Structure 1
Amino acid sequence: MSDKQNNPIAFVATSVIPESPPPARDTGAYKWVRENLFSNIPNSILTLLSLALLYSLLSNTLPWMLNGIWTTSSLAECREILDGKSGACFSVLTERWNQLLYGFKYPTDQYWRPNLALVLLLIALAPVLFFDLPRKLLAFTVVYPFLAFWLIWGGAFMVPVVALVGFAVAAVVFQYLGKSSFAAGFFGSIVAALVIWKIGGMLIPEGASDTAMLSAVPSRDLGGFMLNMMLGVTCVSLSVPLGIALALGRQSSMPLIKWICVVFIEFVRGVPLITLLFVASVMLSYFFPPDASVDLFLRVVIMITLFSAAYIAEVIRGGLAALPKGQYEAADSLGLDYPQAMRLIILPQALKISIPGIVNVAVGLFKDTTLVSVISMFDLVGMIRGPILASTEWNGVYWELLGFAALLFFIVCYGISQYSQWLERRLATGHR
């Protein structure tokens, strides 16, 4: 008799068979390398060429960096220690770090002031950048610009207090008069702020001091990477709301407002920034009253803000155009007026779509702050090209200084880029 006849009932497994591990070529680093670097013949060739180029760069750069000198007081001493060997002279960074970061005129015993302003900047930006934080923290964000002005420039504490009171009164007047007419609220708030500032200026005569007095530092003494950071943060903060206003004005149904915005945007976008900086340095002071001495820093901020606002306006206009017409019709069907529709429905969606473009403009603007060196403002690049390379001790040091400048700008711009990508994922900008 066969086995089948002896065992007529088939065997049924009483437990799950353990899973077998996947093949080695489908897991781990081997899988990543095969799929991303050597997935086909063209990619394999490009990978090999890239590795060869990387090896060539590192084989020449790493010995130069690892043999770097950090403790000398001049380039000549670096060359004596190296004795013909390849090596960097990083001593220029240890000797002139304060000039690279703060300029060569800012008081050395007052470096704590811009450092504290930078720390407070991070705290003030937190509720704006990370909207999960309590909204009460926005009160400090509003106060921060006036506090930072007092910390960096110094002087009597009552000066930024009066400026803050003027803005607060202007906001109250705009909220009260704007209910009946936007124009009345706008011009009324300006008049109210000017009146408060005029009265405050009479109460705080020139040369007056108070218990919270800090030594005054003129704008011409600002410099280094601190100046780049100040220009970047200030101009980006001011250009975004101005760009939104220009974008809305360009789509206005009122011909006068529309054409003013169109002419302004197209003119500014057609002129190089360096030309506008020369205008700010030479000609802009003629547009102010004869007895008014407008600070060069303020003139540069005005020009860079107008320049970047024109580009941001075009980015936001693209976001507005990307919205389907049904969104505007939905706002009308809800009975919302124009300000309500823009604030509650249209602008939130348009700004989400415009995040990559706005970040692109912001990064470009921050890098373009180095152009102020052409109008004798000693920012980071201006310090390198001017006082440092002009000195006999460090004349001839280029790669170390420019590499340090590139590293600082890369850290800031890379941080902005990573935040924008996080924000896009958080807000689901792709409308998935």
Structure 2
Amino acid sequence: MSTQEIGFVRADLLPPRPAPQRSGSAIGWIRANLLATPMDVVLTVLAVALLLWSVPGMLSWLFFEAVWSGENREACLTMAQGGVQPDSWNGACWAFVGDRFQQFMFGRYPIEERWRPILVTVMFIGLLAPILTPRLPYKGWNALALFVVFPILAFFLLHGGTFGLERVETPLWGGLMVTLILSFVGIAVSLPVGILLALGRKSDLPVIRLFCVTFIEVIRGVPLITVLFMANVMLPLFLPTGWTIDNFLRALVGVALFASAYMAEVVRGGLQAIPKGQYEGADSLGLSYWQKIRLIIMPQALKLVIPGIVNTFIGLFKDTSLVSIIGMFDLLGIVRLNFTDTDWITPVTPITGLIFAGFIFWLFCFGMSRYSAFMESHLETGHKR
């Protein structure tokens, strides 16, 4: 082939190009996410200016000018208000939180018996940590101990009245202890009950389907406050004369049923996302209905709706603060109750207590969301080779 038959032949080499920028570095991330367009630059500058204006004052109020120790309200009052702080003082009153910390954790639980909720907490962490670690064995036995054995032991330890333990009535329970108990029971009950309700709603049996649909729609159609009010006020009216149910047990039942209705819809969404071929493949293997659900359908459905399940758990954890309507004081309720304590009435006491309670709620909710993200990445096998 002669050179005349070639349309174009380059006579010189192309100049070398600069190496591509590393998008994995901090500078690359900033350029890609914060400085990619003129609008991004403007928004980034405004955000940085807002942070520079607000963060120093927040840090000063929360930490640098805060009062960390004290025995009463005088530690968090200025001299003009009858306290010991200079008139220019402006900071949080963490001395109030420190003085009432044990009450925030245990409510009015007797001081000499508080070793019992502490022991229950240690047992709970010891059983929960292995079941949340994917690679550890004996998950079945661990789940049996956590969801069956542990609640029984925890009840006898906390309530007492047996084995030489002093009886502590539930009206004395409060603080973070009540929040965690309500959340754990609600989570432990709502998931299996929600699965059964979701399966019942898709059942071919009209009676079962009608019952599940009615239960789900009625519970989801009213706020949790209404459910708690009905459980506390209306339920005793339907009991025989002389029968009574503990207020705390009523709250447990109301919260668990409320969460179960929402969990049922989350699980039903996962069931509807499963392709029909999965059901047909399970039928072709000769599996029974419950074998098909347990081995083929439900594992896939639950994996698809992990974000929805955790979102329901987080909402349930925060909704426990509504039990104050029936006389139970969770973490937020016991914090607000102490605002009227004459030993600690100051202008900064309420905002300090609310920030403390908000931080505790955020800590638990953030932990659940991060573990949810970890489990999603751990179970995401669809695109792995």
TM-score, normalised on structure 1? 0.78
Distance of aligned partners of 1:326 and 1:431 in 2 relative to their CA distance in 1, 3 Å threshold: farther
Q: 1:149 Cα deviation (Å)?
A: 1.0
Kindly indicate whether the alpha-carbon contact (under 8 Å) linking 2:68 and 2:93 is maintained by their aligned counterparts in 1.
yes
1:403 alignment partner, one of 355, 374, 377: 355
Secondary structure at the aligned position of 1:290 is classed as coil
Distance of aligned partners of 1:259 and 1:414 in 2 relative to their CA distance in 1, 3 Å threshold: same
In 2, Cα distance between the equivalents of 1:110 and 1:241?
Answer: 34
2:61 alignment partner, one of 60, 64, 68: 64
2:335 alignment partner, one of 348, 363, 384: 384
- Residue 115 of structure 1 corresponds to 118
For residue 52 of structure 2, what is the amino acid of its counterpart? Answer: Y
Kindly indicate whether the alpha-carbon contact (under 8 Å) linking 2:69 and 2:75 is maintained by their aligned counterparts in 1.
no
Structure-to-structure mapping, 1:37-186, within 5 angstroms: 37-65=34-62, 66-79=64-77, 80-84=83-87, 85-103=89-107, 105-135=108-138, 136-141=141-146, 142-156=148-162
1:29 alignment partner, one of 2, 26, 30: 26
Secondary structure at the aligned position of 2:241 is classed as coil
Kindly indicate whether the alpha-carbon contact (under 8 Å) linking 2:247 and 2:326 is maintained by their aligned counterparts in 1.
no
In 1, Cα distance between the equivalents of 2:40 and 2:382?
Answer: 29
In 1, Cα distance between the equivalents of 2:239 and 2:352?
Answer: 42
Measured on the aligned residues, the alpha-carbon RMSD in Å equals 2.0
When structure 1 is superposed on structure 2, of 146-155 and 127-136 the one drifting more is: 127-136
Gaps of 5+ in 1: 1-19, 157-211
Kindly indicate whether the alpha-carbon contact (under 8 Å) linking 2:190 and 2:256 is maintained by their aligned counterparts in 1.
yes
In 2, Cα distance between the equivalents of 1:416 and 1:315?
Answer: 17
In 2, Cα distance between the equivalents of 1:76 and 1:21?
Answer: 66
- What is the percent sequence identity of the aligned residues? 45
Kindly indicate whether the alpha-carbon contact (under 8 Å) linking 1:127 and 1:138 is maintained by their aligned counterparts in 2.
no
Structure-to-structure mapping, 1:303-382, within 5 angstroms: 303-382=254-333
Kindly indicate whether the alpha-carbon contact (under 8 Å) linking 2:262 and 2:312 is maintained by their aligned counterparts in 1.
yes
For residue 60 of structure 1, what is the amino acid of its counterpart? Answer: G
Q: 1:289 Cα deviation (Å)?
A: 3.4
In 1, Cα distance between the equivalents of 2:381 and 2:54?
Answer: 38
When structure 1 is superposed on structure 2, of 122-131 and 310-319 the one drifting more is: 122-131
In 1, Cα distance between the equivalents of 2:47 and 2:256?
Answer: 41
Kindly indicate whether the alpha-carbon contact (under 8 Å) linking 1:231 and 1:301 is maintained by their aligned counterparts in 2.
yes
In 2, Cα distance between the equivalents of 1:378 and 1:28?
Answer: 49
Q: Deviations over 1:231-280 (max 9, x none)?
A: 00111101110000000000000111101111110111110101111112
For residue 127 of structure 2, what is the amino acid of its counterpart? Answer: A
The answer as to 2:332 corresponding to 1:413 is no
Structure-to-structure mapping, 1:263-274, within 5 angstroms: 263-274=214-225
For residue 215 of structure 2, what is the amino acid of its counterpart? Answer: F
- Residue 170 of structure 1 corresponds to none
Kindly indicate whether the alpha-carbon contact (under 8 Å) linking 1:352 and 1:429 is maintained by their aligned counterparts in 2.
no
Secondary structure at the aligned position of 1:231 is classed as helix
In 2, Cα distance between the equivalents of 1:37 and 1:333?
Answer: 54
Distance of aligned partners of 1:22 and 1:108 in 2 relative to their CA distance in 1, 3 Å threshold: farther
Q: 1:363 Cα deviation (Å)?
A: 0.2
TM-score, normalised on structure 2? 0.88
Q: 1:411 Cα deviation (Å)?
A: 1.0
In 1, Cα distance between the equivalents of 2:216 and 2:287?
Answer: 29
Q: 1:424 Cα deviation (Å)?
A: 0.9
Q: What is the number of equivalent residue pairs in this alignment?
A: 356
Q: 1:131 Cα deviation (Å)?
A: 4.0
Gaps of 5+ in 2: 1-16, 78-82
